[in-house]
Homo-oligomer: A and B are copies of this chain.
């Protein structure tokens, strides 16, 4: 497997575009379209928030057919908490795209990100979709990536090429998200395409497993969007032996490629977290089981005190110990070990003789590993997060005003 220069259009037969429809108000691109020449196997993973945006409800229902051919997405308006009218708007977005593309509306998936509780400006959406269809381009992935950006500082794209069952397979993807729910310019979105040949239900399983190990393992502020969505379209044109079981060797190969792409994009989202200056990788080892390992890692990664200490480059390991102790994971505090990068700070629940200046220096880096060994079992989990800064407060305090 190798990473290649490319985007969601790295896959043959996939074109995309991004245009300015005027939804955002500042003239920046805000409408993206991804189109496969032929109907593709489709799968999706959606927010588990009870309050789901209209496009989530629509795409979640449509993806159940296992088939889709296009994704239309807008930024600047989440079409969430907009009632039955909002659901009709989402359906109309799909219908307009389908008419322009000359395909069945049921094959169009829809995504939105932006302000909650405000109806979509359907006239602008309609004009935007028409322009996006005209602009479709086999190299348009980058434009699509830009059109789904909100507070993202950089567009997020990734593509890989790998061999599956003797055939070259490509996976390309774009994502957006500053790592958090943003009810105004909200949400984590990721759209993936591939030419692998795979049964839709196996594709769904692969996507779910991959998302659980990537997007579901990052946290910026613990909030969960009404609009989060990861979609994948598989054209099948690679000609590999069709993947129809997770036991197949080809399934494992494909998962490797998919995991590479989702994990890279997930880390890009955290690195681009609002106001973030550091990527923090929290690993908990020696937990009784994987669930407790994840709970413990999540507690450390979610602790405001840990995150602010990292921002302040303060080796405040007591906050790590306290977060672990409150996590619900079961361990003996007198057997707790903690490292910052490779420097052991705590051994057997008490401070080692570490060199405070050395540790402070390593916290100056923009990439920090916090590792804890609970010494209670064999399970391990990693969660990625970023530091919490005054810039985050600035961004979020005055968002709508």
> A308: nearest residue on chain B (CB-CB)?
B396
Q: Which residues of B contact A51 (CB under 8 A)?
A: 321-322, 324-326, 333, 336, 349
Tell me what chain A mostly uses at the interface: helix, strand, loop, or mixed. Answer: loop
Alpha-carbon separation in the docked complex, A339 to B214 (Å): 36
Q: Decide if A397 touches B317 in the complex (CB within 8 Å).
A: no
Q: Decide if B393 touches A303 in the complex (CB within 8 Å).
A: no
Q: Decide if A83 touches B349 in the complex (CB within 8 Å).
A: yes
Other A-B pairs beyond A183-B321, A224-B326, A314-B397, 16, CB < 8 Å:
A50-B325, A50-B326, A51-B326, A51-B349, A52-B333, A81-B321, A81-B333, A81-B351, A82-B350, A83-B348, A222-B303, A222-B304, A308-B393, A308-B396, A309-B400, A316-B399
Interface mask (A280-321 → B, CB under 8 Å = 1, otherwise 0):
000000000000000000000011110011011111111101
Alpha-carbon separation in the docked complex, A68 to B110 (Å): 66
Interface mask (A378-391 → B, CB under 8 Å = 1, otherwise 0):
00000000001110
Q: Which residues of B contact A118 (CB under 8 A)?
A: 351
> A117: nearest residue on chain B (CB-CB)?
B351
> Within A202-237, which residues are at the interface with B (CB < 8 Å)?
221-226
Interface residues on A, range: 35 or more
For residue A368, CB closer than 8 A to chain B, the reply is no
Q: Decide if B396 touches A390 in the complex (CB within 8 Å).
A: no
For residue A360, CB closer than 8 A to chain B, the reply is yes
Q: Which residues of B contact A324 (CB under 8 A)?
A: 50-51
For residue A184, CB closer than 8 A to chain B, the reply is yes
Choose from B83, B315, B360 the contact partner of A350 (Cβ within 8 Å). Answer: B83
For residue A115, CB closer than 8 A to chain B, the reply is yes
Q: Which residues of B contact A398 (CB under 8 A)?
A: 312, 314
Given A50-B325, A316-B183, A325-B51, A393-B396 contact (CB < 8 Å): no
Alpha-carbon separation in the docked complex, A399 to B226 (Å): 35
Q: Decide if B81 touches A397 in the complex (CB within 8 Å).
A: no
Choose from B49, B184, B393 the contact partner of A393 (Cβ within 8 Å). Answer: B393
Q: Mind listing 26 A-B residue pairs with CB under 8 Å?
A: A50-B329, A50-B331, A51-B325, A80-B318, A83-B348, A83-B349, A116-B322, A117-B317, A118-B351, A181-B319, A183-B305, A183-B316, A183-B318, A183-B322, A222-B303, A223-B304, A224-B322, A224-B326, A226-B318, A304-B304, A309-B396, A312-B396, A312-B401, A314-B399, A315-B400, A389-B397
